[in-house]
Structure 1
Amino acid sequence: MTQSNETTRRWLRRAGSARLEFGADYNPDQWPREVWDDDVRAMREAGVTIVSLAIFSWARLEPRDGEYDFAWLDEVMDLLHAGGIAVDLATATASPPPWLTRKHPEILPVTRTGETLWPGGRQHWRPTSPVFREYALRLAGELAGRYAAHPALVAWHVSNELGCHNVYDYSDDAAAAFRHWLRARYGTVEALNQAWATAFWSQRYDDFEEVLPPRLAASYPNPTQQLDFKRFSSDALKDHLIAERDLLRRFTPDVPVTTNFMVMGETKGMNYADWAAELDFVSNDHYVLPGPQARDELSFSANLTGNIAGGRPWFLMEHSTSAVNWQPVNVAKKPGELERDSLTHVAHGADAVCYFQWRQSRAGAEKYHSAMLPHAGTDSDVFRDVAALGERLRQLAPIAGSHRARAAVGIVFDWESWWVAEHDSHPTERLRYRQEALDWYTALLDAGIRVDVLPAGGPLEEYRMLIAPILHVVPAALAGRLRDWVNGGGHLVTTYFSGIVDENDHVWLGGYPGALRELLGIRIEEFGPLLDHESAELDNGTTGTIWTDRIDVTGDGVEVLARYKTGDHAERAAVTRRRVGPGSAAYVSTRLGPDGIGALLPGLLGPAGVRSELPAGLGGRVELAVRGDHWFLINRTDEPVDLGDLPGAGILPPRGVTVIGKQ
């Protein structure tokens, strides 16, 4: 983190003691004045301690160019403070007002096909627009100057969900900024030509001014150009974040600054592991995604967020009390899920539990999105569950400030491998990087194993076992780190399509898996992607899909843990493990899904000395997370679970969470 520890924890240590914060986005400007007093009364009834304010209020705050209306916000800030509710005040720059886009249509984003994204939704601005930057900083400065000393202010909220709708802009502004970024990265156009392999398809550049973003082309755009544009686009948004942050710090150096990440599902355009160091504390938005691994995906995302935050407490800025409005079918949460979802985030390090939003909108695009105060009002199950959660969080106040306890097993998560592994013109378009990582996470939870999901640049050396699914981009430095870690006694597991390219998306020559070939003691000449109707049985009773590899064992100390039973590679190795001194390096050459991975885990975990910390019989039904001196036991099922002899545990209700002293 970038500020002092005391500054970063200002949002936690008010009223003389630490506590878990509880609240929501609050949008009083969508409601008449007479509602505001009722809001504060109901907030106090629910146990709300903090709200994020003015996120989408630019048009209200600056109704005309250079004319400001802060009277309503002054009143709301004073009203909240009088009610004992703190404010995470937004810079309100997420969506520009109509007058700004009318006056300066050149701030509007442009798609790769050349279409302009017009006003009418939100985030209709170019991250690289100097015009937009000027207006956004002007508004942020007005807010910072006016509210710097307000007693309700405990944190600044930069923009909102940066990149949710505008991460990739292909405009002329973006082209100019991209060229500037490339000059800084490569120095010379010849270095760029080498990195981009522009000898292919006659793409050699003579001047940086010839370079464009990867707009719609007649065929596949240059792969390294695509990768660098993804890097640049993440950096462009980060640069905007830094610009607003630095301005705010000039006014209020003791008020921490954050912005809400979106570590969830397939949101992959922003490299949050790279952004985290720019914030005083990490914040995240998460919404449950439907499917058989919905609960595990929530846990996976919370776990990754906690490790992006370096194990320190973080802020759950948004999630939902019940149904959302943006999925094809928006299902209400079952009894117990509101609390379980919230406390799972707390288990993985969240010291604040907040929702979108406080009062459910009566109109607009999100009027059917649930809220803390639903359309039905306070006389509703949702509000009663909200109030019950507020009381539960008050009781859990001693947990605030505690760090996540490191697990023995880590799943390595790498944004650049995610980006590149799913590029076009690859062996298959069916590969899904995050799904493979989630499958390993689910399999470990099924086995009762506590695991960390950590960025590739994290402290890998502190783990006994590392799982690196589809670690596709492996620079020489990372290959060296993994080799040294294994030689020192670590146990590595990696999978198909790993170790294939370097940081420039150039293939490591000599056979696959490239940079990891010697460490794994295997060699693969050709990939074996499977068609949709194809699969390959293994001799351990599992079935692989999407991918197979024809493996030749080349190194000493390699044992075959499973072989293909059917398919083109029948009788050949499917899963291998090489002993390397006190460590080992294993390779899984096909997608097995959680159940298939589960069949492999005993043979992989055993040599690493990893076993479940849970009593026998609880693995699979209960997830364990550890914060400080507390165990969080989370029921993964819809049935009650008897926690046996665990002190203070008893019966864990369906979808329930209990917190006990560390065992």
Structure 2
Amino acid sequence: MINERKPKIWYGGDYNPDQWEKPVWDEDLRMFKLAGIDVATLNVFAWARNQPDEDTYEFGWLDEMMDKLHADGVGVCLATSTAAHPAWMARKYPDVLRVDFDGRKRKFGGRHNSCPNSPTYRKYSVRMADKLAERYKDHPGLLIWHISNEYGGYCYCDNCAAAFREWLRKRYGSLERVNRAWNTAFWGHQFYDWEDIVPPSSLSEEWRGPNGRTATSFQGISLDYCRFQSDSLLECYKLEYDAVKKHTPDIPATTNLMGAFKELDYHKWAKELDVVSWDNYPGLDTPHSYTAMMHDLMRGLKDGQPFMLMEQTPSQQNWQPYNSLKRPGVMRLWSYQAVARGADTVMFFQLRRSIGACEKYHGAVIEHVGHEHTRVFKECAELGRELFELGDALLDARVKAKVAILFDWDNWWAVELSSGPTVALKYVEELHKAYDALYKANIAADVVSLEADLSGYDLVIAPVLYMIKPGIAQKLEEYVSAGGTFVTTFFSGIVNESDLVTLGGYPGELRKLLGIWAEEIDALLPSQSNTIVVRNPGDGLQASYACGMLCDLIHSEGAEVVAEYGEDFYAGMPALTVNRFGNGEAWYLATSPEAAFLQDWLPKLCASRGIAPLVASAPEGVETTVREKDGTSYLFVLNHNAEAVSVALGVQSGVDMLSGRNLSEAAELAGRDLWIVKLDR
């Protein structure tokens, strides 16, 4: 349990006293007490303050603040400060600076501007982490380590090129295997010397395609460079992790992830984190189901272990085109949305607003006016009071689901590096379409990796399972044969882990499981559409639905045809099939349907497997989930609507932990309000 040293839902966020004069510190601490702040993240970007030159380290300000916070009962999430290297380092050791996608050497500036394969960066970042851990290893206020901050950003420098070649040697063992994996016979790209391999960039294999999407001549090269850069940054994290763990083996360590962040394979990263933490920044128009899916993705990174909500804004952001305020009640509601889906902390960026630079208009608990008489502060203080009263009741409670959605970074990279068949295909959007249909039906789903144990799920959904890595086809066959239900979609089973097409007909290694083969894939223009015609409408399914983007032209090899295409030259060909396999069944959806189809079909499929909604009925805009602990279930019901709604709990009953109200059958839930119902056993 992450909260052992402070057994409640941690409440606080990023605090930057190094940006302020000391008289402000005491006023901040006074206001922290008023707001119920009990954890502060320190030292995130203080490397230049801590190390003014190569040989000098100054931690006096940090000593003082660590002591002040502890004396006031505020624990510390202590960052290693290595997310932005000092200017002297860039001047004296230019190898620390990245080279961008277009081959330009960066100057000092920004923040994520350090080459992950720079010997200089690795030397001094590890030394800083080591000195901090040695200094504060016995400090009673230290709760958790925060390694660097929001890792990301690729580099294409000579150090990265050399490291890439070494990474390839370890992965493939020989140039012959590299050439085979990358299909370098195409366009005469055969490599006969490791030194001939260069990073894929705008100077070599890649270019910026439509909507800023990376396009590449050689998907295999670009795919491996994504893997390599993710691994390189992870290695930087691990070096600092080892440095702090040497001195504080019992203090957990993390770094803040960013949801569906494309550059890094978070499934690999999660194995190196003691606890997952992440930064949640939805916009005013972000679907609530998308935010929920991101929380579930973060929870799924470590087999359902509770995670940290490391950052969110109390009010508004600063980097979006239109930075809307969170309406009254929304900050509280979205904070509890994170808790509902597995967060054991509620933390903000930031506790006090900066006065200058690019984040001066990013929201904070303490606004520029500098006192507690603001709407935002009052809402934060009320939430702090509630979290204090909840105590440790929800800590380490788990979310349990009978449905899993498979999420895989390699598939994401490969799908969107593809040179066809359509630029409209977005991997995460396809996953969200399936997740959203379940969310709207109040059906719980986990979002897990291909490595996850699937035996506990009755239904597994894998949209656009384009890449079939070694062992995955067999794993899915065993799951279905044992009685599971598997669903996948168009553009699945096409390639292996090197993005080489599996010959013999799509969907390749999934062909036996699905009982179909596909001969062509039609890419529709945005203005075009087709229809899915259901053979036997009823039981919640309509006669036909619109579909588009991609249409696989498939043939049954034993699978039952449930629906067909209604138009074009492939009218009458299968659009939805089910194949009985062992004791289970495997479904294939050959096209991208309108939302109504998934909203009708997936709940029906769940019902046929005995998977029930979490409440009897709830209107649009109401979110539900359940956390369980020591045999007790806590039902969260969140109303994202501005107006009150009626929610039918069905046969369930219990007490709302926030209001003390007894709830059963149907009850009214106020706008932008929620219940945490401790259900009767």
Q: TM-score, normalised by structure 2?
A: 0.92
Q: Is the 8 A contact 1:448 1:618 kept in 2?
A: no
CA RMSD for the aligned pairs? 1.7
CA–CA distance in 1 between the matches of 2:440 and 2:303? Answer: 26
Which amino acid is the alignment partner of residue 314 of structure 1? F
Q: Which residue of 2 aligns with 1:635?
A: 639
Spell out structure 1 runs of 4+ moving beyond 6 A.
none
Judging changes above 3 Å, is the alpha-carbon distance between structure 1 residues 620 and 411 closer, same or farther for their aligned structure 2 residues? farther
Q: CA deviation at 1:280?
A: 1.3
SS of the aligned residue for 2:471 comes to helix
Of the structure 1 ranges 18-27 and 389-398, higher mean CA displacement relative to structure 2 is found in 389-398
Name the amino acid aligned to 1:272: Y
> Partner amino acid for 1:40?
L
Code of the residue aligned with 2:668 in structure 1: it is I
Distance, in Å, in 2 between the alignment partners of 1:284 and 1:223 is: 30
Matches of 2:475 and 2:284 in 1, distance apart? 37
> Whole-Å Cα distance in 2 between the matches of residues 451 and 619 of structure 1?
18
Mapped contact 2:490–2:588 kept (Cα < 8 A): yes
Please show how residues 588-599 of structure 1 align to structure 2 within 5 Å. Answer: 588-599=589-600
> Shift in Å at residue 618 of structure 1?
5.5
For the residues of structure 2 that align with 1:594 and 1:404, how far apart are their CA atoms?
30
Letter in 1 for 2:186: F
**SS state of the match for residue 394, structure 1?**
helix
| Shift of residue 104, structure 1, vs aligned partner | 1.2
Determine the C-alpha separation between the residues in 2 that align with 1:337 and 1:290: 10
CA distances 1:309-329 after superposition (whole Å, capped 9, x unpaired): 221221111111121011111
Deviation at 1:117, TM superposition (A): 2.8
Determine the structure 2 residue equivalent to 1:205.
Answer: 191
Higher strand share: 2
> 1:417 aligned to 2:408?
no
1:344 and 1:232 map into 2 onto residues whose CA distance is: 34
**Alignment partners' CA distance in 2, 1:118 and 1:662:** 58
- 1:559 & 1:636 partners in 2: Cα distance? 40
Q: TM-score, normalization: structure 1? A: 0.94
Instruction: Map Cα deviations across residues 61-85 of structure 1 (whole Å, 9 max, x no partner).
Output: 1112221221111111111011100
Question: Any stretches of 5+ residues in structure 1 without a counterpart?
Answer: 1-8
Structure 1 residues 223, 28: closer, same or farther in 2, change over 3 A? Answer: same
CA distance in 2, matches of 1:435, 1:218: 27
Instruction: Report the alpha carbon displacement of residue 528 of structure 1 after superposing the two structures with TM.
Output: 0.9
Match of 2:296 in 1: 303
User: C-alpha distance in 1, partners of 2:168/2:429?
Assistant: 32
Aligned to 1:369: 362
Q: Does 1:88 align with 2:77?
A: yes
- Of residues 247, 251, 268, the one that matches 1:251 is 247
Paired with 2:669 and 2:626, the residues of 1 have a C-alpha distance of 15
- Paired residues of 1:499 and 1:513 also in contact (CA < 8 A): yes
Name the CA shift for 1:188/1:655 in 2 (closer, same or farther; >3 Å).
same
User: 203-212 or 492-501, which moves further after superposition?
Assistant: 203-212
Deviates more, 1:94-103 or 1:616-625: 616-625
Give aligned pairs, total.
644
Q: What residue is the counterpart of 1:116 in the other structure?
A: 105
Q: Kindly report which structure 2 residues correspond to 1:230-245, keeping only aligned pairs within 5 A, or say none.
A: 230-245=226-241
**Identity score, percent:** 39
Matches within 5 A, 1:308-327: 308-327=301-320
1:530 alignment partner, one of 524, 535, 546: 524
Counterpart of 2:18 in structure 1 is: 29
Equivalent of residue 507 in structure 1, options 501, 509, 527: 501
Q: Give a deviation string over 1:151-196, Cα, whole Å, max 9, x none.
A: 1111111100011xx2x11110100111111111111111111111
Residue 436, structure 1, aligned to residue 430, structure 2: yes
Which deviates the most, 448-457 or 390-399? 390-399
- Taking the aligned partners of 1:347 and 1:602, their CA distance within structure 2 comes to 22
Amino acid of the residue matched to residue 174 of structure 2? T
Aligned AA (2:671): P
2:664 aligned with 1:661, yes or no? no
Corresponding residue for 2:4? 13
Cα distance, 1:578 vs structure 2: 1.5
Relative distance call for 1:152 and 1:121 in structure 2 (3 A) is same
**What is aligned with 1:5?**
none
Residues 1:563 and 2:549 are matched in the alignment? no
Q: Partner residue of 2:610?
A: 609
Query: Which string of whole-angstrom CA distances, capped at 9 and with x for unpartnered residues, describes residues 484-537 of structure 1?
Result: 101111001111111111111111111112221221111111111111211112
CA contact under 8 A between 2:256 and 2:279: conserved in structure 1?
yes
Give the drift of 1:143. 1.4
State the match for 1:328 in structure 2.
321
| Whole-angstrom CA distance in 1 between matches of 2:579 and 2:608 | 11
Q: Give the corresponding residue for 2:120.
A: 131
Q: Which amino acid aligns with 1:436?
A: E
Give, in whole Å, the separation in 2 of the partners of 1:336 and 1:620.
15
* Structure 1 residue 290, shift from structure 2 partner: 4.6
Does the CA contact (< 8 Å) of 1:614 and 1:624 recur in 2? Answer: no
Q: What does 1:441-480 align with in structure 2 at a 5 Å threshold?
A: 441-480=435-474
Q: Which of 216, 225, 229 is the aligned partner of 2:221?
A: 225
What CA deviation, in whole Å up to 9, does each residue of 1:460-487 have, x standing for no partner?
2210001101111112400100011011
Q: Is the 8 A contact 1:563 1:572 kept in 2?
A: yes
